[in-house]
């Protein structure tokens, strides 16, 4: 537990000092929302159907941007060698990276939600709590697989280029369920209507958190 | 032994072609186009077997670290991608006259499509991962994740109403005996074809490894 907290704290301190990951993610989010605003004809009839998918597309695009950075930082000056030399369980290293990625994605999700709600004038007052739950579960699913795959991608020839290619097909269940659940909330639905989506999301999160933690030791290496 | 396998496979492939095109009765509603169903089932069966082999041998590779498991996973994935492509093509040819469209996002089709993408990505990882051991490890990890992912894709897509025909099991329409025989012969011959392809492909891959090292 201590090692987990130590690695996590190192990541947070590092990010607080440089602010490079969060700032670029935030800037990208704003740009994406502006582009959506100008490229789509959004009116009262289609807004609640369009915005959920736009929101989640933005989340995975911006999230991928952040994911590819978390291990690139460790590669600089071979910092990863230091971590790997210390007697740390690889799954602890994995979990700490998942949590730091999760934190970035949660922050960005709230920024994006705020932007969409304000700029597209959506009413979410009824289901804010459930919406937060959906976004949290989606973010967990995204960062569990994202962390594993970003570690893989950074060690290949294509580097960051490979990450979206291997990540997006696998997280399709997350996207399908998160978009549907979000769209129910935007249309004024309640918790009962979204519970099947939430169940699949929870299953996805648990299955992949365990699997990824198990296989992580095969993926992380100093080369 | 190998000659025997070749001969039996050849004979069975010819028999199953005969069974599918001539022996089996014409379907009442769909007509002759339904005959492609035998090959469709044959290819999807081979692809399923191939991807199960990829999954199992990937797990064995991660546990044992023996090169032969990696070779088996890779060659099997390659054949699987070939046959799942054939499945999609034959399915589309069948769907156009019957459903009136080449493609629809029904759960089975969505899952097949994602399956196809996932294993193409698997091959892509193999091309781009540098030296051998890393390549083997990464692709094994990805194969395991991809295989576990598929049921979740299916469940997620299930919310929409399915229109792919369910032939067997509860709610299935059942099948006429002659059609069943034709189907069984096709499945057996495609399985033999798969074994044959796999043996040959593993041999080529081993030679390839010997040459490059």
Instruction: Taking the CA atoms of B5, B116, B44 and A208 in sequence, report the sign of the dihedral they define.
Output: positive
What is the domain partition of chain B in residue ranges? 2-212
Of the pLDDT bands very low, low, confident and very high (cuts 50, 70, 90), residue A129 is confident
B63 in contact with A, Cβ within 8 Å: no
Residue in B124, B130, B149 closest to A170 by CB: B149
Q: Work out the pLDDT band at B161, boundaries 50, 70, 90.
A: very low
Measured between alpha carbons, how far apart are the two ends of chain B, in Å?
30
Per-residue pLDDT band for A49 (boundaries 50, 70, 90) equals: confident
Cβ pair A156:B152 closer than 8 A: no
Query: Does the pLDDT at position B172 exceed 60?
Result: no
Quick one: which of A74, A15, A121, A89 has its CA closest to A223?
A74
Which residue did the predictor score with more confidence, B163 or A32? A32
Report pLDDT for A121: 81
Question: With an 8 Å Cβ cutoff, are B152 and A200 in contact?
Answer: yes
Q: Residue A32 in 3-state DSSP?
A: helix
Contact B116, B85 (CB under 8 A): yes
Residues of B in contact with A201 (CB under 8 A): none
Taking an 8 Å cut-off on Cβ atoms, the answer to whether A219 and B144 are in contact is: no
Q: Which of A1-10, B75-84, B187-196 has the lowest mean pLDDT?
A: A1-10
Proportion of chain A above pLDDT 70, given as a percent: 99
User: Looking at the 3D structure of chain A, how many domains does it have?
Assistant: 1
Residue A223: how many CA atoms within 13 Å on its side-chain side? 15
Alpha-helical runs (H) found in chain A: 2-18, 20-39, 47-75, 79-85, 90-120, 128-154, 162-170, 172-186, 191-219
- Give B86 or A6, the one with higher predicted confidence: B86
Domain that residue A19 falls in: 2-219
Tens of pLDDT, residue by residue over B97-151, are 888 888 888 888 888 999 999 999 999 998 877 667 888 999 999 999 999 998 8
CB atoms within 10 A of CB A39: 8
Query: B162 pLDDT band (50/70/90 cuts)?
Result: very low
Chain A residues near residue B125 by CB distance under 8 angstroms: 152, 156, 162, 166
First to last CA, chain A: 27
Q: Are the Cβ atoms of A162 and B159 closer than 8 angstroms?
A: no
Locate the chain B residue with the closest alpha carbon to A211: B145
Q: Is B27 helix (H, G, I), strand (E, B) or coil?
A: strand
Hey, how many other C-beta atoms are within 10 angstroms of the C-beta on B141? 25
* Average of per-residue pLDDT across B181-203: 91
What pLDDT score does B123 carry?
92
Which tokens is A38 given? 């100008």
Stretch (H or E) spanning A11: helix A2-18
Residue A65 has, within 13 A of its CA and on its CB side, a CA count of: 19
With bands split at pLDDT 50, 70 and 90, how would you rate the model's confidence at B54? very high
Specify whether the CB–CB gap between A6 and A93 falls below 8 A.
no
Any chain A CB within 8 A of the CB of B129? yes
CA dihedral B126, B128, B130, B136 (to 10 degrees): -20
**Contact at 8 Å (CB) between A59 and A112?**
yes
DSSP 8-state secondary structure symbol assigned to residue B20:
I
Q: Flag if A211 and B121 touch (Cβ within 8 Å).
A: no
Answer whether A33's CB lies under 8 Å from A115's CB. Answer: yes
């Amino acid at each position: 537990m201590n090692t987990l907290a130590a690695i996590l704290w190192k990541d947070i301190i590092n990010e607080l000092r440089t602010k490079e990951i969060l700032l670029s993610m935030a800037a990208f989010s704003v740009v994406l929302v502006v582009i959506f605003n100008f490229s789509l004809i959004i009116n009262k009839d289609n807004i609640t159907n369009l915005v959920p998918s736009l929101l989640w597309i933005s989340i995975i695009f911006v999230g991928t941007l952040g994911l590819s950075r978390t291990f690139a930082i460790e590669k600089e000056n071979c910092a990863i060698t230091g971590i790997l030399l210390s007697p740390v369980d690889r799954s602890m290293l994995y979990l700490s990276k998942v949590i730091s990625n999760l934190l970035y994605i949660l922050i960005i999700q709230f920024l994006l939600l705020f932007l969409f709600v304000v700029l597209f004038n959506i009413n979410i007052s009824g289901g804010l709590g459930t919406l937060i739950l959906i976004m949290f579960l989606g973010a967990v699913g995204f960062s569990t697989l994202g962390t594993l795959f970003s570690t893989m991608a950074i060690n290949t020839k294509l580097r960051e280029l490979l990450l979206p290619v291997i990540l997006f097909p696998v997280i399709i269940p997350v996207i399908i369920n998160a978009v549907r659940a979000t769209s129910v909330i935007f249309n004024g639905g309640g918790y009962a209507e979204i519970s099947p989506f939430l169940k699949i999301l929870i299953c996805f999160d648990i299955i992949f958190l365990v699997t990824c933690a198990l296989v992580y030791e095969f993926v992380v290496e100093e080369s | 032994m190998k000659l025997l396998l070749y001969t039996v496979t050849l004979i069975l492939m010819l028999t199953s072609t005969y069974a599918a095109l001539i022996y089996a009765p014409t379907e009442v509603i769909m007509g002759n186009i339904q005959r492609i169903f035998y090959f469709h089932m044959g290819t999807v069966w081979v692809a399923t077997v191939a991807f199960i082999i990829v999954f199992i041998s990937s797990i064995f590779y991660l546990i044992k670290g023996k090169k032969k498991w990696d070779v088996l996973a890779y060659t099997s994935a390659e054949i699987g991608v070939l046959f799942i492509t054939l499945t999609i093509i034959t399915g589309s040819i069948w769907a156009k006259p019957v459903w009136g469209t080449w493609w629809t996002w029904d759960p089975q089709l969505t899952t097949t499509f994602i399956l196809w993408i996932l294993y193409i990505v698997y091959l892509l990882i193999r091309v781009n991962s540098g030296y051998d051991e890393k390549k083997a490890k990464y692709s094994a990890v990805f194969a395991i994740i991809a295989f576990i992912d598929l049921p979740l894709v299916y469940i997620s897509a299930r919310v929409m109403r399915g229109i792919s025909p369910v032939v067997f099991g509860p709610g299935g329409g059942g099948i006429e005996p002659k059609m069943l025989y034709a189907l069984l012969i096709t499945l057996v011959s495609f399985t033999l074809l798969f074994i044959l392809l796999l043996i040959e492909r593993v041999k080529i891959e081993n030679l390839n490894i010997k040459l490059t090292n």
